[in-house]
Structure 1
């Protein structure tokens, strides 16, 4: 069994959808429910705009723990002539997650396809811009327009193995989730939920989650096991809301693992407009990251990064097996290898170079010309240079001097 993150990548379960005429999917609207949890009165108009675009034939359930929010939402929807809406006042506990798992647990039994959304507010002025983009991500990529909603439902019809479709991980100047840090110290509580629900799934801390923010489309069957648990409001301790082991933080990450247990895949879905924004942002971000990291981590493309990931453990093991280790090459890659080994408490004896050029020490390590290195057959050498043809030349020089105990740091497929 593979991890859901790897499945999404390897099967390219990323869907960029356009809008299309709504009438094409009228026959499945009666099997569809959209649940929305609303809490903030001052930003309500932002979300009402999205609600106005939902096809009339789809049933909508608006949930809140605040009477004034439901009152204003009802006033707006009735003024627009919208029908097929249910309004539910819930206990002010567990926020959006309890709205889905407790308030509406029985309601979803009558539908095959369900969408869940909630409003959001920035925690500080510093992240206001990032949060606004995240809101566009969560809402635009789930209920962006009537035609877009139809295309989402069409995906489910065309792909029986799809159980969950969620917006992409958020991007932003202050957010690290997209870069693989989506656990945010919530892995423990998510793993506890996996055990509590007895899920047959692959969950690992080194593989990031693929649902963040509790906004998603799902087949009821894919997540039925989660709803069958029988959640109650008392399960949610809102005093722990700021802690990373808060129950809701685990639940928002567990959807793909529940779906995998039920035999379904999880994909990511977005509009063409958001895909353009995200692509532009991530290209800019990747440029900044690689440029600033280069002096410390001189890897500037994915192929080299994969080669480094594949080879570093072999280099470390090689160095640990030998008492005297030398690094061939005192340049950028040699110093990079030195930092890698020092993190493992391995101190090389020195750098080896073909010609010294008058340099005797680099980073407190002696630099020794090959011709002056004695007892070479008994030494262990890591060839740190990057260029393959230069590696071959160095290997030939070492072998001519009786040294067979060497490893190439950048050799493909060590």
Structure 2
């Protein structure tokens, strides 16, 4: 049970004679404990029919007792509130003579955007519908709910209820009003496109959708979530409730984009409060001893008491690192713990989750800093060098920058972890960061009880394996007692090593505990990244017409391009212009492609032996 729900109900309770809460699915004891103080009765039902059938069951449950009331309010949990007070809206709408009223509405559209044809009638949005006695005691009301069709998916809920409810009753002589009508705003759907203007006019609720809707769609309409959130915080809404819900229920990369959760921090301390220090454990995995001194200096730049834990996998490296530690006694660390881990399997992730499990789980630290000596022989010199810079400088730049990073955790108790955004210069991560890892990540998420939605194309993740986070946010990952044997090659997932898979699950594990994550950069890397991304997007967009959302949808319909060639281009043509034919031949295409790939692989192995 997310905390924003009882908070919203507590405000409504001041204006209601009776509050009936309907729960779709199951209700935990802790959830019940949160709801009971703000409700008169709780009805738990099977999770079918969305909120509409929940409303029908609630009306059946109340039965003839509904005649005791002057007005009933049908609402759901798709909004945050009260951001502004409920009272003025109830007072204003109570003075009207309508039979039913809504908080917001949606203008008439032709053709219907959901079906591509017909008309989407003007309608009050169903997340908030208040109905007076003349209507809810009428035979028309009884008939509407008696004949309510089944609603197996979201579009049924929109097309069979929300889009028809207003027209149904208006056509039968019932008058309706809206508290914040779309005709007074610059778009047809202000609850999605102009929530800041609604709030400025006194609307007490904020729809959740601007923070989980498809990011290219919001980009097309210039809906800036960060600006909306700044307004909401300014009105005094408890932001911890909002972040907890979004972290648990929105795919992290979507949330990071919709809410613009990248923090570009200055190199000079402007926000850290030294009177509220953290107890910090810095865990460094060092296999490249030549990087040890730089890593120590960066960690030593953090404010507050720091205990140092270093892992390495060879005795001679441990000796060399010990010499560096002895030479740098000037660096202000508390505890200094050098650990020789017994296995190279899993590299820095096994050293962290197995070799330092006691530190993360039982050490009593407020924050964990995890970095490692990253170099890659599989990348070019420049790519490897920039990759390392991108990780260390965006996580622990100057001491002032590091202080500003910690200030984020001071500001937001629900912030679970921070890490650099996806590196894309010199490395082909964009569009394929899941690669072979997604099936294994989904399997681990299921095993650990992580229910946060998984992003489709790429995860929001510390792909360099470096981050700063709260131990509680890592709780789901650390709850399992991993062993070094777990990091051995997997028969089920031969191309997805466990360590990189675990990296990709950090934000999802944090979200399961109600913690959100942020990406962080310094100004120099933001300048480098933005100019590179801008040029690359400009070039990619040059051959495809339309706005980015239209270009993306076109390319998704066309499908995987492979390496080009006649077969690949023909398949794309069929997918775009003859989708039925494409679906019919796809199984044969995949079979043929698999045969070709297998033959090439066999030839490569024969050539290698020769």
Per the TM superposition, whether the score is higher than 0.5 is yes
Contact 1:182 / 1:209 at 8 angstroms: preserved in 2?
no
Q: Secondary structure at the match of 2:519?
A: strand
- Give CA deviations for 1:147-178 in whole Å, capped at 9, x if unaligned: 222111110111223212111111223x221x
- Give CA deviations for 1:343-402 in whole Å, capped at 9, x if unaligned: 356299xxxxxxxxxxxxxxxxxxxxxxxxxxxxxxxxxxxxxxxxxxxxxxxxxxxxxx
User: How many Å apart are 1:310 and its aligned residue?
Assistant: 5.6
1:7-406 aligned at under 5 Å gives the runs: 7-21=255-269, 24-44=272-292, 46-51=294-299, 53-55=301-303, 57-80=305-328, 81-82=330-331, 83-84=333-334, 85-93=336-344, 94-108=346-360, 109=362, 110-124=364-378, 127-173=380-426, 175-177=427-429, 179-237=430-488, 243-291=494-542, 294=543, 298-299=544-545, 304-309=547-552, 342-343=574-575, 346=578
- Give CA deviations for 1:242-279 in whole Å, capped at 9, x if unaligned: 95321112101000110111011121011122212222
Q: Relative to 1, partners in 2 of residues 1:39 and 1:29: Cα closer, same or farther, differing over 3 Å? A: farther
Q: Relative to 1, partners in 2 of residues 1:114 and 1:313: Cα closer, same or farther, differing over 3 Å? A: closer
Contact 1:63 / 1:99 at 8 angstroms: preserved in 2?
yes
Q: Relative to 1, partners in 2 of residues 1:41 and 1:7: Cα closer, same or farther, differing over 3 Å? A: same
User: How many Å apart are 1:283 and its aligned residue?
Assistant: 2.7
- Give CA deviations for 1:170-214 in whole Å, capped at 9, x if unaligned: 1223x221x232112111111111011011210143453433121
Contact 1:137 / 1:274 at 8 angstroms: preserved in 2?
yes
Taking the aligned partners of 2:486 and 2:476, their CA distance within structure 1 comes to: 17
Taking the aligned partners of 2:351 and 2:431, their CA distance within structure 1 comes to: 28
User: How many Å apart are 1:309 and its aligned residue?
Assistant: 4.8
Taking the aligned partners of 2:314 and 2:490, their CA distance within structure 1 comes to: 19
Q: Secondary structure at the match of 2:452?
A: coil
Contact 1:140 / 1:271 at 8 angstroms: preserved in 2?
yes
- Give CA deviations for 1:50-70 in whole Å, capped at 9, x if unaligned: 345445732221111123323
Taking the aligned partners of 1:22 and 1:343, their CA distance within structure 2 comes to: 54
Q: Secondary structure at the match of 1:62?
A: strand
Taking the aligned partners of 2:499 and 2:435, their CA distance within structure 1 comes to: 13
Taking the aligned partners of 1:310 and 1:135, their CA distance within structure 2 comes to: 34
Taking the aligned partners of 2:489 and 2:571, their CA distance within structure 1 comes to: 44
User: How many Å apart are 1:219 and its aligned residue?
Assistant: 1.2
Q: Relative to 1, partners in 2 of residues 1:289 and 1:46: Cα closer, same or farther, differing over 3 Å? A: farther
User: How many Å apart are 1:44 and its aligned residue?
Assistant: 4.2
Taking the aligned partners of 1:218 and 1:202, their CA distance within structure 2 comes to: 21
Q: Relative to 1, partners in 2 of residues 1:60 and 1:145: Cα closer, same or farther, differing over 3 Å? A: farther
Contact 1:142 / 1:216 at 8 angstroms: preserved in 2?
yes
Q: Relative to 1, partners in 2 of residues 1:127 and 1:121: Cα closer, same or farther, differing over 3 Å? A: same
Q: Relative to 1, partners in 2 of residues 1:223 and 1:279: Cα closer, same or farther, differing over 3 Å? A: same
Taking the aligned partners of 2:278 and 2:251, their CA distance within structure 1 comes to: 34
Contact 2:279 / 2:305 at 8 angstroms: preserved in 1?
no
Q: Which runs of 5+ in 1 are unaligned?
A: 316-337, 349-414
CA RMSD of aligned residues (A): 3.2
User: How many Å apart are 1:107 and its aligned residue?
Assistant: 1.1
Contact 2:417 / 2:518 at 8 angstroms: preserved in 1?
yes
Contact 2:266 / 2:522 at 8 angstroms: preserved in 1?
yes
